[in-house]
Amino acid sequence: MKVLVLLGFLGCVVCNPQASLTDVLAAVIADTDTDGDGLISAAEFRTELLAKFDSDVPSDEVVSKTDFVNSWTKLYNDNHHDAALFFDNLDTFLPFGQLSEIDLLFHMGLLDPNDFTLRLTMKVLLLLGVLGVVVCNQVTLNQVANLVVADTDTNLDGVISVEEFKTELLSKWANDPNAVSVTQQQFVHQWSQYYGDNHADATLFFRALDSFIPFGVLTEVDLLFHMNALDPDRDGTVTTDEFHAFIINTHPCKAHGHFHC
């Protein structure tokens, strides 16, 4: 079936350089559904719209607008203007001009809001809540804290484990799942990009977490210290509500209730 679809598309391109949108979509679907099961998995979706157009070796898991537009137009005979608009519609979150997994998670949730995994559906709904305000730099702390909680509670049990806590505030920003520390520069740069914070406030947030020598580096010792603050009722369980409150109370903008204070 894939061969037939691609042959039909090829004939259309040769005879008419302006292939119809239907023909292009058929070719895109045939390219994406690699196992031919009639379903687009998250991995297939990511490959078709991200990894496939990423020219970096090794891949940095983002694709620039230039790379995407150039490759898309060559592969599907689109024009640069329309391909650029298509990219802009996919490029939903900061930093603009590059397509990343967070953009694709948003669109995957729109494609399948009911059957895509529960965690991703929850994350998409939270992202929808901050979408309109991220671009205007008016993100509320409550919205960001909701997103942080959704990112952290990976098994959706309503409890933040020590490992989940360490991953969200340590190894995630060091780009190494086994990292036992993260520098201020790494944390501030990536936290700001991911959650839309500015560098000055993100730096103060980092310093509030960075409680022990050597300063400028967040370690497991710092995080274990904060586990006590995460469990004020001392019941031995850190709930998502307690973690949500911790994020807000630790951020320098807590009195203002929004980023960029």
Domains of the chain, by residue range, sit at: 2-111, 133-250
User: Distance (Å, rounded) from C-alpha 247 to C-alpha 212?
Assistant: 19
Sequence-ordered alpha helix ranges (H) in the chain: 2-15, 21-32, 42-49, 65-76, 80-90, 101-111, 118-134, 141-152, 162-166, 172-174, 184-195, 199-209, 220-230, 240-250
Written out in words, the top-level CATH class of the domain with range 133-250 is mainly alpha
Longest distance between any two alpha carbons in the chain, whole Å: 73
Gyration radius of the chain's alpha carbons: 22
Which pLDDT score, from 0 to 100, does residue 57 have? 60
Give yes or no for residue 209 having a pLDDT over 90.
yes
Give yes or no for residue 161 having a pLDDT over 90.
no
Average pLDDT (170-181) is 82
Give yes or no for residue 154 having a pLDDT over 60.
yes
In the beta sheet, which residues pair with residue 100? 62
Give yes or no for residue 89 having a pLDDT over 50.
yes
- The dihedral sign for the CA sequence 226, 243, 258, 96: positive
Of 54-63, 64-73, 115-124, 212-221, the poorest mean pLDDT is in 115-124
Residue 51 has what DSSP assignment? G
Residue 247: pLDDT band (50, 70, 90) is: very high
Q: Please tell me which residue, 138 or 34, carries the higher pLDDT value.
A: 34
Measure the CA angle with vertex 20, ends 19 and 22; round to 5°: 130
Average pLDDT (193-218) is 88
Residue 53 has what DSSP assignment? G
Residue 21: pLDDT band (50, 70, 90) is: low
Give yes or no for residue 167 having a pLDDT over 80.
yes
Which pLDDT score, from 0 to 100, does residue 8 have? 38
